[in-house]
Each structure stands twice: as C-alpha cells, then as structure tokens.
C-alpha cells in the first residue's frame, strides 16, 4: 500500500494501536496526532496540523472524549464539535478516504432478544452515544457532498495490549491475576461481544486498501456472558481466584442486558478477516500481559 495515513486521536488505546499496525504494514507515511498535537476542538488547529494533507491521503478519526473519561452534556457537545470542525476541514480539502470510529451504543436500549444489525434504527440513551450518532450524521453529510468514501465502524468492546484500565477484559484479568478476586456486578448473565484490537486493525487495513464505504458493526457474532468470560480467564491463567457477586452499583447507568449481533454484513464485506473468539483473544492477550 502506498498511501499516507493520518490518525487523529493517536494517543488513545485504539488510535495508538492503529498507528502501530500501519507503521508495520504501510509503504507510505503514517502520522498519528494526539489531542495536544492536533486539537480537534479547534478548526485552526486541524488546519495547521493537517496542512500537508493531499487528496490521495486517508484520515482515521479516532479522537473522542470517551465514556470512561466523561459522559456529560458538555462532553457530548465537545465530541460533536470535533466532528463539525473535521467536516469543515473536509469541505476545503479533498481526501481519498475517511474512517470514523463510532460505537454500537448508538442503538441504545434495544428490546431483549433483538439482534443488533446495521438496519436497526439507532436510539442512543446517553450523552456519549448521542455524540457518536450526531458525529456520524455530520460526517456522512459532508462526505456525501464532497464525494468522499466514508467508513463508519460501530465498535463493540475492544481489548488487547495497551488497553490498561480501558477495557472490561483488562479489568477482569487484572483483578484475577493481581487481586486474586473478580467482582461481578449483577448476576453475571449479561451477554457481551468483545473484539481483539488486532482484528480491528486488520479490518481497517482491508478497508483502506479497498476504500470501503458504509456503516458496519464490529463484533465477533459470538456473545458470551460475563460469567463465561471469567471462566475463560480462569482456564487461560490456570490460576485460582475468588469470584464475588455484588449488586450493580450503577443502577442509573442503563445498559442492554444482552448485546447480540448479526455480523453478516461485516463478514460478507471483509471476507478474509476471521475475528478471534473470546478464548483465543484472551490467550493471545495473556501472552503479552504484564501485571
């Protein structure tokens, strides 16, 4: 591949992993910008930082105030402002391909037994999810106007090397290995679908090669309960630890009980990508994990 890659939000877990991946893969220049180097809350900062961008370049927008950092009205407005500023930059500059990292949380509180797929009408129920859906709309509108392919990846839970304290899998493994005790809030039957970071990077690699356009949910299609995931960790570490159940402390943080995905669109588009199931992913993660 002979394309210049620009990653906004390169200091975060996912952004930094993308930069590292493309540095080992791309024959072109790969440039990552942290929020300090390119402040997407400022149009002037974006224009100054990206003044070198040419029409054959690819920009991956990973900049965001994450839910872990803040989930408030102010953070929602700032996330939307980042997308608006980026869209204004796009309006003045022809780009070959744009990727926006969104979240499956845009679907909100779907009914029990609902299979999440891209045809499902979004219904965000918190500030973070609303900011991502609004940002999707802003960028889709501008990219359509400028005839620029836009790939929107709605990510489920992502984990892997470098996710220190930033993923559920990391927190569970850290509790098991270091504290010898894993606390499960609720009954542990909630189903989730976690994706290994390398698989996200492989999807991006293929997408950039083909200038893939469209919106895709990124999940393995094999949801597991939290209890099942804890059991996988126990088997993978061959270690003994206590599992303790507690009442959910975040009663006001409404989340879907079971996140189950129809990933047929992802599979039919990225036919050469085989996403790791949770057992394989955790085993690979543990090979690099350092307490």
Secondary structure class of 131 (helix, strand, coil): helix
Same domain, residue pair 81 and 22? yes
Q: What is the pLDDT of residue 63?
A: 96
Please check whether residue 33 lies inside any domain of the structure: yes
Q: What is the pLDDT of residue 186?
A: 86
Question: Dihedral, CA atoms, 273, 277, 278, 279, nearest 10 degrees?
Answer: -120
How far is the C-alpha of 252 from the C-alpha of 269, rounded, in Å? 38
Whether the per-residue pLDDT at 254 is higher than 80: the answer is no
Residue 101, strand partner residues: 153
Q: 161 with 167: CB under 8 angstroms? A: no
Which pairs count as long-range contacts for 284-287, CB under 8 Å and 24+ apart, including other chains?
284/160, 284/196, 284/198, 285/159, 285/160, 285/161, 285/169, 285/173, 285/196, 286/173, 286/236, 286/237
Same domain, residue pair 140 and 16? yes
Arithmetic mean of pLDDT, 106-132: 93
Question: What is the tally of structural domains in the chain?
Answer: 2
Q: What is the pLDDT of residue 32?
A: 96
Average pLDDT value for the chain: 92
Same domain, residue pair 182 and 198? no
Whether the per-residue pLDDT at 251 is higher than 60: the answer is no
Same domain, residue pair 117 and 228? no
Cα angle vertex 254, ends 251, 256, to 5°? 125
Whether the per-residue pLDDT at 252 is higher than 60: the answer is no
Whether the per-residue pLDDT at 13 is higher than 80: the answer is yes
Query: 45-79 burial, b for 16+ CB within 10 Å, e for fewer?
Result: bbbebbeebeeebbbbbbbbbbbeeebeeebbebb
Please check whether residue 250 lies inside any domain of the structure: yes
Same domain, residue pair 252 and 185? yes
- Residue 185: which CATH number? 3.90.25.10
Name the residue range of residue 144's domain: 5-157+194-218
User: Regarding beta strands 191-192 and 224-225, do their DSSP bridges make them parallel or antiparallel, or are they unpaired?
Assistant: antiparallel
Please check whether residue 267 lies inside any domain of the structure: no
Q: What is the pLDDT of residues 155-197, one digit of tens each?
A: 999 999 999 888 999 999 999 989 899 999 888 999 999 999 9
The model's confidence at residue 246, banded by pLDDT at 50, 70 and 90, is confident
The structure tokens 């979240």 sit at: 103
Arithmetic mean of pLDDT, 120-137: 96
Please check whether residue 265 lies inside any domain of the structure: no
User: Regarding beta strands 224-225 and 157-159, do their DSSP bridges make them parallel or antiparallel, or are they unpaired?
Assistant: unpaired
Q: 173 with 164: CB under 8 angstroms? A: no
Q: What is the pLDDT of residues 72-96, one digit of tens each?
A: 999 999 999 999 999 999 999 989 9
pTM: 0.93
Same domain, residue pair 240 and 186? yes
Please check whether residue 266 lies inside any domain of the structure: no
Same domain, residue pair 32 and 175? no
Q: What is the pLDDT of residue 185?
A: 86
């Amino acid at each position: 591949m002979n394309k210049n890659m620009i990653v906004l939000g390169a200091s975060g877990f996912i952004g930094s992993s993308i930069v590292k991946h493309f540095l080992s893969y791309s024959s072109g220049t790969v440039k990552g910008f942290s929020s300090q180097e390119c402040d997407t809350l400022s149009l002037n900062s974006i224009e100054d930082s990206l003044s070198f961008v040419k029409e054959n370049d690819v920009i991956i927008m990973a900049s965001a105030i994450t839910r872990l950092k803040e989930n408030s009205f102010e953070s929602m407005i700032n996330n939307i402002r980042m997308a608006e500023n980026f869209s204004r930059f796009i309006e003045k500059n022809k780009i070959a391909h744009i990727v926006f990292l969104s979240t499956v949380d845009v679907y909100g509180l779907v009914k029990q037994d609902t299979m999440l797929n891209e045809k499902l009408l979004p219904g965000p129920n918190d500030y973070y999810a609303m900011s991502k859906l609004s940002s999707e709309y802003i960028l889709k509108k501008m990219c359509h106007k400028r005839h620029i392919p836009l790939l929107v990846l709605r990510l489920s839970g992502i984990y892997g090397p470098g996710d220190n304290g930033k993923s559920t899998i990391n927190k569970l493994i850290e509790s098991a290995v270091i504290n010898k005790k894993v606390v499960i809030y609720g009954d542990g039957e909630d189903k989730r679908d976690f994706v290994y970071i390398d698989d996200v990077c492989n999807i991006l690699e293929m997408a950039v090669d083909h200038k893939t356009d469209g919106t895709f949910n990124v999940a393995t299609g094999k949801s597991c309960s939290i209890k099942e995931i804890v059991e996988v960790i126990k088997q993978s570490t061959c270690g003994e630890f206590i599992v303790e159940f507690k009442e959910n402390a975040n009663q006001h943080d409404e989340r879907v009980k079971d996140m189950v995905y129809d990933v047929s669109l992802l599979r039919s588009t990225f036919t050469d990508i085989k996403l790791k199931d949770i057992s394989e992913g955790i085993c690979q993660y543990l090979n690099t994990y350092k307490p």
